[in-house]
Structure 1
Amino acid sequence: MNALSLQDGIDKAGSPVKLLWKPGAAPWTPEVIEREYAGWRQEQAAWHKGVALLNLSHHMYDMWIEGRDSTRLLADHGANDFENFAIGQAKQYVPVTKDGNIVTDGILAREAEDRYLLSGVPAAQHWVQYHGDKGGYDVSFTTDPSSAFRPGGGDPTLFRYQIQGPLAQELVEKVCGGPLPPTKFFHSTPVSLDCRPVRALRHGMAGQAGFEFIGPWEHAEYIRETFLTAGEPLGLVQVGALAYTTPSVESGWIPSPVPGIYTDPDLREYRDHLPLYGVEGQRPLNGSYFSEDIEDYYVSPYELGYGKMISFNHDFQGRDALQRAKDTVRRTKVTLLFDAEDVREVIGEGQDPGFVLTYARHRVENATGPVGVTMQTAMIDPVGTVLSLTLIDKEFAEPGTEVWVVWGEHPGPGTPADADLDFPHVRATVQHAPFNRHARTLYRRNI
């Protein structure tokens, strides 16, 4: 018996929304690593005031793309500029459908002239491999799923440790015996730690200066212990699965938007190809924002803030749609700063709510009616309240604009989208995205 496909799941449920709508769904957190080490509050504080070690080794899905057509394949199905893509450089890869909706981004690193590594949520990898196989490109694919889905268990191919925070530079220099060569944002430099080869990628997820150290898994424990030992005098804190999910809210990255693949008749074959029990069929939708039409959840890369990454110097799937959309995008990305008193009363039921994390789509309103939708929401203890990355109508995107977040769980299909469900409202103020000033102003400069 063949495994069920995404299209099978849609057909059985009756619609994409009926398949994906799961009220009260628990938010995803990285697998394998501890939920907390020092406690989520202390771990968040570490990347704001000290230095933190974040373990990215287990939850990333890696796919190597190799062959003489590797660049052509990626350029044909991605909106990025590939003309000056240097070996050792990484980009946020932006694959889009013919309608200009994002499939889901990923981190694309060029390892050699004809070899790339695409990492992150596997929707982008599925898209690239499908078109590579179907289009007859001269490429090969090697995949390493996340630890939760690796067949037969086993270890990852690579380790990834991120060193983050105001003291990150000091720790890196201590471990490496001096400053690393000047490295541009999202470029890597090779280093050797006691003869163990490592790549240091200039990158961070919380708006502070930092590096991501990447190398063969056989050296993972040694490298980790080296940083822990050297970092002890600096107060190095390991970050667990709970706190790990929150820095993206400050740095302005919206993880795992709904792929724009569920309705186009021309993508029927693609949906037949995808497994039902994959990210496209299992990543839940929930929250107070509800629509029966899955296309209301699709997003443009412009809305996500990826406009600067889009290059029209080559032909690619979705090019015409993105050109048409460039000056007509209705929504933009902002951060909502929740009123701390409302957070205690509504979310904490009169008390400190403790850890808060949700990927639910909550409706954002003002006196005129609905004006936006939240995408990721988390308690940021050093800020003292909840922040939410949100897509909002441009006319209400000015920092300082006051709105309300409708806090609740719509039951889904069978109940009208605009039903009065007596959900409480949380006051919020529009702020910049990224919220973190360093991420917004200095993050991409050279060290």
Structure 2
Amino acid sequence: MPTPSLQDGIDTAGSAVNLLWKPGVAPWVLPVVEPEFAGWAAEQEAWRSGVALSDLSYHMSDTFFEGPDATRLLQDVSANNYENFAIGQAKQFVPVAYDGNIIVDGILLRERENRYTLTGVPASQSWVKYFAAKGGYDVEFVTNADSSVRRDGDPAVFRYQIQGRHALELVASAFGGPLPETKFFHSTPATLAGRPVRALRHGMAGQAGYEFIGDYADHEAVKDALLTAGEQYDLVQVGGLAYLTNGVESGWIPTPTPAIYTDPQLADYRQSLSLFSYEGQKPLNGSFFSENIEDYYISPWELGYGRSISFNHDFIGRDALQAAKAEVNRTKVTLEFNLDDVHAVFGAEPGRVLSYGRYRIETDSGLAGMTFYTANIAPVGTVLALSLIDTEFATPGTEVTVVWGEHPGAGTDPNADLGFARIRATVQPSPYDEFARTQYRKIAFVS
């Protein structure tokens, strides 16, 4: 029996929203990696005041593209600038649909002249692979899926991230001296424990650091070397729970809804995707409910990816994306929850609050936006929600309310008063972390 497609699932459910709406769904967790090592709060604190090791080897999919047409393919399906894309450089990959809204971002690394690796959730990789096959490009691709449900056996590569105040000191200790001066989001080849690694200058939550990438067969030796070097710096390993919270402060929305579900031009694309793909199974939940899936789409402009966008070439969605720049009416912000309300809703010790739910943000005027990524940040002392809000309410200090509850879905008025808890919140900038906002972001987006 053939595997049902995403389009089959939409047709059976009656709509994309009916397919994806799953109230009360548990948040996704990193596969393979221990949930906790030192504990949620200690691990969150480590990348601020100390140094932390995160194992990123298992939760992301990789697709390797190679061939004479690899660059031309990527130019045709994304808004990035490829004119000065150096070998060893990485970029925030920005593919958009025909309507100019984002598919899903990723990290694109140029390994050689005609070889690239695209890393992240699978949706952006599925997008590129579809057009690679459809367009007859002279390019080959191989996908190494993530370990959650999509892969048997070991990953192809390991990824270890060292970040925090003492990250560069630890790295110098591990390698016997500082690595060569490397620009942000550029990489340099190196050797650790006798194994070749690629050292990518990178960090999360606004902190300095490196990401070390290499053949998975070498993962234990490289990890042992990092742990040994980290002993003098009280290195903390970050578990799969705390790791998922660092994007809240650094201002990165990790899993937007791909803008693919209704466009007639993408009917064949939806037919090419399995119902059991990321696009068919990534759930929606929270108090913000709409029958129209397009109400969940996001523009790259709203995500803050403007500096990664270039119109110096033609690409899918180019005209719509260019027109959308003048029409952006939402701004990415961080909501800082009122601590009294946090205690009333989540308890005196909030613990591990983590949700990708779309919760309503309201003012006295009514609906003002929605949350995308909510977590308790223990060193901050309360819950933060990375959100999109109408620009008129985006000024830091503005008071808003978050409606905390699970809308049941179709058959209930989207604006019905369902008696959900209401949490007062204050608008703060995004990124919330001051270093990430004032320094890190100056160099983080590479065109």
Query: In structure 2, how many angstroms separate the alpha carbons of the residues matched to 1:319 and 1:313?
Result: 10
TM-score w.r.t. the length of structure 1 is 0.98
Deviation at 1:308, TM superposition (A): 1.2
Query: In structure 1, how many angstroms separate the alpha carbons of the residues matched to 2:147 and 2:280?
Result: 19
Q: Deviations over 1:44-88 (max 9, x none)?
A: 111111010000001110000111111111111100111100000
Letter in 2 for 1:109: L
Deviation at 1:402, TM superposition (A): 0.9
Is the 8 Å Cα contact of residues 251 and 434 (structure 1) preserved in structure 2? yes
Q: Which residue of 2 aligns with 1:88?
A: 88
Q: Deviations over 1:93-132 (max 9, x none)?
A: 0000111010000100000111000000000000000001
Query: In structure 1, how many angstroms separate the alpha carbons of the residues matched to 2:229 and 2:281?
Result: 41
Letter in 2 for 1:365: E
| Structure 1 residue ranges (4+ consecutive) displaced by more than 2 angstroms after TM superposition | 148-151, 444-447
Q: Which residue of 2 aligns with 1:266?
A: 265
Tell me the secondary structure at the aligned position of residue 64 of structure 1.
strand
TM-score w.r.t. the length of structure 2 is 0.98
Q: Deviations over 1:325-369 (max 9, x none)?
A: 111111111111111111011222xx2121100000000011111
Letter in 1 for 2:204: M
Q: What does 1:18-417 align with in structure 2 at a 5 Å threshold?
A: 18-151=18-151, 153-348=152-347, 351-417=348-414
Letter in 1 for 2:206: G
Deviation at 1:445, TM superposition (A): 6.3
Q: Deviations over 1:423-446 (max 9, x none)?
A: 121111111111011111222567
Is the 8 Å Cα contact of residues 5 and 275 (structure 1) preserved in structure 2? yes
Tell me the secondary structure at the aligned position of residue 391 of structure 1.
strand
Deviation at 1:283, TM superposition (A): 0.6
Deviation at 1:294, TM superposition (A): 0.3
Query: In structure 1, how many angstroms separate the alpha carbons of the residues matched to 2:357 and 2:427?
Result: 18
What value does the CA root-mean-square deviation take over the aligned residues?
Answer: 1.1
Unpaired stretches in structure 2, ≥5 consecutive residues: none
Is the 8 Å Cα contact of residues 193 and 225 (structure 2) preserved in structure 1? no
Deviation at 1:323, TM superposition (A): 1.2
Query: In structure 2, how many angstroms separate the alpha carbons of the residues matched to 1:147 and 1:424?
Result: 36
Is the 8 Å Cα contact of residues 88 and 187 (structure 1) preserved in structure 2? yes
Deviation at 1:148, TM superposition (A): 2.4
Is the 8 Å Cα contact of residues 89 and 186 (structure 1) preserved in structure 2? yes
Query: In structure 2, how many angstroms separate the alpha carbons of the residues matched to 1:443 and 1:303?
Result: 19
Letter in 2 for 1:361: R
**Identity, % of aligned positions:** 64
Tell me the secondary structure at the aligned position of residue 47 of structure 1.
helix
Query: In structure 2, how many angstroms separate the alpha carbons of the residues matched to 1:193 and 1:245?
Result: 27
The number of aligned residues is: 444
Q: 1:446 to 1:414 in 2, by over 3 A?
A: closer
Query: In structure 1, how many angstroms separate the alpha carbons of the residues matched to 2:285 and 2:149?
Result: 24
Letter in 1 for 2:374: T
Letter in 2 for 1:43: E
Is the 8 Å Cα contact of residues 193 and 222 (structure 2) preserved in structure 1? no
Q: Deviations over 1:154-176 (max 9, x none)?
A: 11110000001101111001001
Q: Deviations over 1:397-416 (max 9, x none)?
A: 11111111111110011101
Letter in 1 for 2:406: E
Is the 8 Å Cα contact of residues 16 and 294 (structure 1) preserved in structure 2? yes
Q: Which moved more, 1:352-361 or 1:194-203?
A: 194-203
Query: In structure 2, how many angstroms separate the alpha carbons of the residues matched to 1:123 and 1:226?
Result: 34
Letter in 2 for 1:119: T
Is the 8 Å Cα contact of residues 193 and 221 (structure 2) preserved in structure 1? no
Tell me the secondary structure at the aligned position of residue 343 of structure 2.
helix
Tell me the secondary structure at the aligned position of residue 307 of structure 2.
helix
Unpaired stretches in structure 1, ≥5 consecutive residues: none
Query: In structure 2, how many angstroms separate the alpha carbons of the residues matched to 1:311 and 1:446?
Result: 17
Query: In structure 2, how many angstroms separate the alpha carbons of the residues matched to 1:394 and 1:69?
Result: 41
Letter in 2 for 1:203: H
Is the 8 Å Cα contact of residues 77 and 96 (structure 2) preserved in structure 1? yes
Deviation at 1:194, TM superposition (A): 3.3
Deviation at 1:185, TM superposition (A): 1.0
Tell me the secondary structure at the aligned position of residue 327 of structure 1.
helix
Is the 8 Å Cα contact of residues 248 and 254 (structure 1) preserved in structure 2? yes
Query: In structure 2, how many angstroms separate the alpha carbons of the residues matched to 1:337 and 1:181?
Result: 39
Tell me the secondary structure at the aligned position of residue 303 of structure 2.
coil
Deviation at 1:149, TM superposition (A): 3.4
Q: Which residue of 1 aligns with 2:434?
A: 437
